[in-house]
């Protein structure tokens, strides 16, 4: 590389403090050191291009956990998070610098470089050998320490040690020894990952040397991961400007965002997380009050309250016994204070009756917790984040910004009892906003099923916040500065790539529901162009149904749908003209076409003043009278005509006799009956002649044809309710001269083993197709 520079003398006299990220003890010891040394400059591991965010992070109103989010300024979007809890040493260093009037700076690689270097870390499959080596090394360390996990080993040896000056030296030595054992294997198995660490350290040393031009070594404190400390202090060569310029870099931006304890936890997959953020927050609070020894009592008491809050039993005696047992377990391991593992074992024994499952929920709340950070107005955020917060406030949805999911029911009808229009249509405006978020893929709102069928005025949502939601909001800034503008851009983007008629209709629906008025005309044009060349009957019907639904709830949602009516007419007519040709198909294809016929019937009823009902009747008559089309579809068309009151009793009897006359093959006769029985069972039950003809037809079939007919009959009667089957039994009993009750019991009764086996064999019946 070009332009290499030398290490400055005196860098080893800089006050390096190695930490474990998210360590209360690290923060406690760091503050002690900072108060003792009173440095004029505090340098912190973090993206160097985010210095301007430090003043906002340090504000008193900020409530951790929070995170710096770095994201690319172009697509594909890539992100990197830099999270902080209240007990993060980096966060406490920034707070100390702000209160002590000292400079604070981030010194790690710029975010655009870090995003570009992330892929060089490799994946677990490629690095399985290295991870096995790491697992073995830590297993040996855990075994030698007499613990059951590395978290317990770390907590007992480092988090509980508040002896002044002990932490920095021991952690630095511990990390240096671990690195000395791991690095040769890492270099062999993961050279790229190892190189990224070395590049970062070289850059950070270069940044330290930059501030050494302004301050004496003793006036600088450096807070980095202990893994890097010894190497940077004594060995690493600084990176030059020329070398930095040769690194890959993507254009990136930065923002602050609230974070959650769950995302901080290692259980979420966060590599630098700990297993119990809520527990460590309790530990930090105890340290702040110089009362770390009370941590076991505080933790078990809190767990007891959670158990009782969930309807479980936990007495004061249970808590006392659990505390005593936790200390007994500690003494057996040579410790002075219980670790979280000791506390778990004691609680399971004394409160959970020996069953971890009884305390699983309480453990989750007391270990990981549901805390979610808070950033006040004025903190550096993207325009779309600011708009999101304004909309949440305007629509009175701020209380739903929680990691606990909550249900929200909306009534889209206007509330006439309030004075302002904004208040009258609050729920409608909420619906528009939530639909925009859903369209953008922002998971704050998930639409729930409404039990009241046909209630176009009612919606139900499940709302919940998470860091992933915030990240999605931030990503939307690439599409617009507000949620509305981002949704409109996303709609245009979708329309440009739209290739099928159903998707185009769905996008029209979205444009109306989200009130993206600028996109509705464009969406309609795309749909119209696709409809001209479409030969997809089911797709055309589905598109028509989508438009029909938009028109149906247009009044409730207060938008004018008159522009959609000609488009619905066009799609409806196109489907009518296609019906006969698409009905020359096999039974598999007939399933979707039959569903589409039912949908067309619904559209014609709901939009009788818009669509051409006579054209639909003509198409149905054309299909119902044809013997050369799929029999099931002909039966379905006949059923719709019957339901529309267009078939006389005389013609009905004649057609049934013709379709079910002896000699008609099973796939034609029974198939036609299956299609006809898809609708209006009550009307069929009232036509005695239908069942007499069906009985005579089935009786006339030869064995092989009878087996074929059974397949169709099973499907047909599978849609009948029990009481409808009883009615059929009564009709058949009259034909056969049997008692009504006996016949109903016989039909509803279960099959014997041999009968059941024979019927199951029909599932794979070969129709010679």
* Mean local confidence (pLDDT), 399-426: 85
pLDDT of residue 572: 94
Per cent of the chain over pLDDT 70 is: 88
Q: Rounded to the nearest 5°, which phi and psi values hold at 220?
A: -115, 135
Identify which has the larger pLDDT, 153 or 679: 153
Which DSSP symbol is given to 159? I
pLDDT of residue 266: 66
Please check whether residue 322 is in contact with residue 300, taking contact to mean a CB–CB distance below 8 angstroms. Answer: yes
- Between CA 154 and CA 171 the distance in angstroms is 10
**Helix, strand or coil for residue 269?**
coil
Q: pLDDT at residue 270 above 70?
A: no
- Between CA 395 and CA 423 the distance in angstroms is 9
pLDDT tier for residue 219 given thresholds of 50, 70 and 90: very high
Question: Strands 66-72 and 445-448: what pairing?
Answer: unpaired
Half-sphere CA count of 349, side-chain side, radius 13 A: 15
Beta bridge partners of 70: 80, 254
Mean pLDDT score of the chain, rounded to an integer? 86
Count of CB atoms situated within 10 Å of the CB of 454: 8
Identify the H or E element spanning 601. Answer: helix 587-606
Which DSSP symbol is given to 215? S
Please check whether residue 464 is in contact with residue 404, taking contact to mean a CB–CB distance below 8 angstroms. Answer: yes
Identify which has the larger pLDDT, 15 or 555: 15
- Between CA 733 and CA 741 the distance in angstroms is 9
The strand order across the sheet containing 458-463 reads: 406-411, 458-463, 445-448
Per cent of the chain over pLDDT 90 is: 52
* Mean local confidence (pLDDT), 661-678: 77
- Between CA 722 and CA 759 the distance in angstroms is 20
CA 284, 286, 289, 291 dihedral sign is: negative
Q: pLDDT at residue 120 above 90?
A: no
pLDDT of residue 682: 64
Domain 384-483 fold is Arc Repressor Mutant, subunit A (1.10.10)
pLDDT of residue 559: 78
Beta bridge partners of 448: 460
What are the structure tokens assigned to 588, written together?
Answer: 């598999």
Peptide bond just before 76 cis, omega within 30 deg:
yes
What are the structure tokens assigned to 492, written together?
Answer: 């245009």
* Mean local confidence (pLDDT), 703-725: 71
The strand order across the sheet containing 41-47 reads: 15-19, 220-225, 41-47, 103-108
- Listed in sequence order, the residues at least 6 apart from 758 whose beta carbon sits closer than 8 Å to its beta carbon are none
**Helix, strand or coil for residue 448?**
strand
- Between CA 104 and CA 733 the distance in angstroms is 92
* Mean local confidence (pLDDT), 218-240: 94
> For the chain, what are the domain ranges?
277-368, 384-483, 507-622+634-639, 648-769
Q: Rounded to the nearest 5°, which phi and psi values hold at 275?
A: -80, -15
* Mean local confidence (pLDDT), 497-525: 87
Instruction: Give the range among 72-81, 198-207, 296-305, 436-445 with minimum mean pLDDT.
Output: 72-81
* Mean local confidence (pLDDT), 62-81: 89
Q: pLDDT tens, 519-573?
A: 788 888 888 888 887 888 999 999 999 999 888 877 777 778 888 899 999 999 9
Q: pLDDT tens, 311-368?
A: 999 999 999 999 999 999 999 998 899 999 999 999 999 999 999 999 999 999 999 9
CA 274, 278, 284, 290 dihedral sign is: negative
Identify which has the larger pLDDT, 469 or 681: 469
Q: pLDDT at residue 282 above 50?
A: yes
What are the structure tokens assigned to 433, written together?
Answer: 């906003």
| Angle of the 24-37 helix axis to the 166-189 helix axis, nearest 10 | 120
* Mean local confidence (pLDDT), 419-424: 80
pLDDT of residue 735: 67
pLDDT of residue 380: 66
pLDDT of residue 756: 62
Q: pLDDT at residue 767 above 60?
A: no
Identify the H or E element spanning 270. Answer: none
pLDDT of residue 446: 92
pLDDT of residue 519: 75
């Amino acid at each position: 590389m070009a332009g290499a520079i030398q290490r400055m003398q005196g860098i080893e006299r800089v006050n390096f403090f190695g930490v474990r990220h998210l360590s209360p003890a690290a923060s406690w010891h760091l503050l002690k050191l900072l108060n003792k040394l009173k440095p004029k400059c505090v340098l912190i591991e973090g993206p160097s291009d985010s210095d301007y965010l430090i003043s906002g992070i340090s504000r008193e109103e900020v409530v951790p956990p929070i995170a710096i989010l770095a994201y690319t300024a172009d697509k594909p979007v890539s992100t990197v998070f830099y999270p902080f809890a209240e007990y993060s040493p980096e966060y406490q260093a920034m707070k100390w610098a702000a209160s002590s009037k000292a400079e604070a700076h981030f010194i790690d690689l710029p975010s655009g470089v870090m995003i570009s270097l992330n892929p060089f870390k490799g994946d677990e499959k490629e690095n399985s050998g290295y991870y096995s080596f790491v697992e073995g090394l830590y297993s040996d360390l855990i075994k030698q320490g007499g613990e059951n996990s590395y978290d317990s080993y770390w907590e007992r040896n480092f988090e509980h040690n508040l002896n002044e000056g002990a932490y920095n030296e021991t952690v630095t030595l511990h990390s240096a020894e671990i690195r000395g054992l791991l690095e040769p294997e890492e270099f062999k198995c993961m050279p790229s990952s190892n190189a990224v660490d070395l590049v970062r350290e070289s850059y950070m040393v270069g940044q330290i040397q930059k501030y050494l031009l302004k301050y004496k070594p003793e006036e600088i404190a450096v807070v980095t991961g202990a893994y890097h400390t010894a190497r940077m202090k004594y060995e690493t060569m600084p990176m030059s400007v020329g070398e930095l310029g040769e690194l890959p870099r993507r254009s990136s931006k930065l923002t602050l965002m609230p974070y959650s304890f769950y995302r901080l936890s290692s259980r979420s997959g966060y590599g630098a997380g700990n297993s119990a953020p809520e527990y460590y927050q309790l530990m930090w609070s105890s340290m702040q009050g110089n009362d770390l020894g009370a941590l076991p009592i505080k933790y078990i008491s809190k767990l007891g309250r959670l158990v009782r809050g969930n309807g479980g039993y936990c007495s004061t005696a249970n808590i006392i016994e659990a505390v005593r047992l936790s200390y007994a377990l500690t003494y057996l391991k040579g410790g002075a204070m219980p670790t979280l593992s000791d506390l778990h074992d004691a609680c399971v024994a004394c409160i959970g009756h020996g069953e971890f499952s009884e305390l699983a929920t309480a453990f989750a709340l007391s270990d990981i917790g549901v805390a979610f950070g808070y950033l006040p107005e004025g903190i550096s955020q993207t325009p779309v984040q600011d708009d999101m917060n304004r909309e949440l406030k305007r629509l009175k949805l701020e209380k739903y910004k929680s990691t606990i999911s909550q249900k929200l029911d909306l009534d889209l009808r206007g509330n006439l009892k309030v004075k302002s229009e904004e208040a009258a249509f609050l729920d409608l405006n909420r619906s528009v906003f939530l639909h925009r978020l859903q369209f953008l893929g922002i998971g704050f709102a998930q639409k729930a099923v409404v039990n009241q069928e046909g209630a176009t005025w009612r919606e139900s949502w499940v709302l919940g916040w998470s860091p992933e939601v915030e990240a999605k909001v931030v990503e939307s800034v690439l599409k617009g500065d507000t949620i509305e503008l981002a949704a409109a851009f996303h709609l245009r983007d979708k329309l440009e790539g739209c290739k099928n008629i159903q998707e185009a209709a769905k996008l029209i629906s979205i444009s109306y529901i989200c009130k993206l008025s600028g996109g509705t005309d464009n969406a309609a044009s795309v749909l119209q162009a696709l409809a001209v060349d479409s030969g997809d009957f089911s797709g055309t019907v589905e598109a028509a149904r989508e438009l029909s639904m938009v028109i149906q709830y247009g009044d409730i949602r207060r938008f004018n749908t008159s522009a959609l009516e000609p488009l619905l007419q066009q799609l409806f007519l196109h489907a009518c003209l296609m019906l006969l040709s698409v009905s020359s198909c096999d039974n598999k294809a007939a399933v979707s076409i039959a569903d589409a016929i039912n949908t067309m019937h619904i559209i014609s009823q709901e939009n009788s003043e818009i669509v051409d009902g006579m054209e639909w009747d003509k198409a149905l008559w054309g299909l119902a009278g044809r013997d050369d089309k799929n029999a099931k579809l002909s039966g379905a068309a006949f059923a719709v005509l019957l339901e529309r009151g267009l078939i006389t009793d005389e013609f009905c009897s004649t057609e049934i006799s013709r379709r079910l006359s002896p000699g008609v093959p099973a796939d034609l006769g029974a198939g036609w009956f299956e299609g006809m029985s898809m609708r209006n069972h009550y009307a069929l039950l009232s036509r005695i002649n239908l069942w007499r003809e069906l009985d005579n037809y089935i009786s006339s079939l030869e064995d092989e044809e009878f087996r074929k007919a059974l397949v169709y009959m099973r499907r047909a009667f599978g849609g009948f309710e029990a009481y409808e089957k009883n009615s059929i039994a009564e009709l058949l009993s009259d034909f056969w001269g049997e008692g009504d009750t006996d016949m109903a019991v016989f039909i509803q009764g279960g099959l014997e083993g041999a009968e059941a086996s024979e019927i199951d064999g029909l599932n794979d019946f070969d129709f010679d197709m």
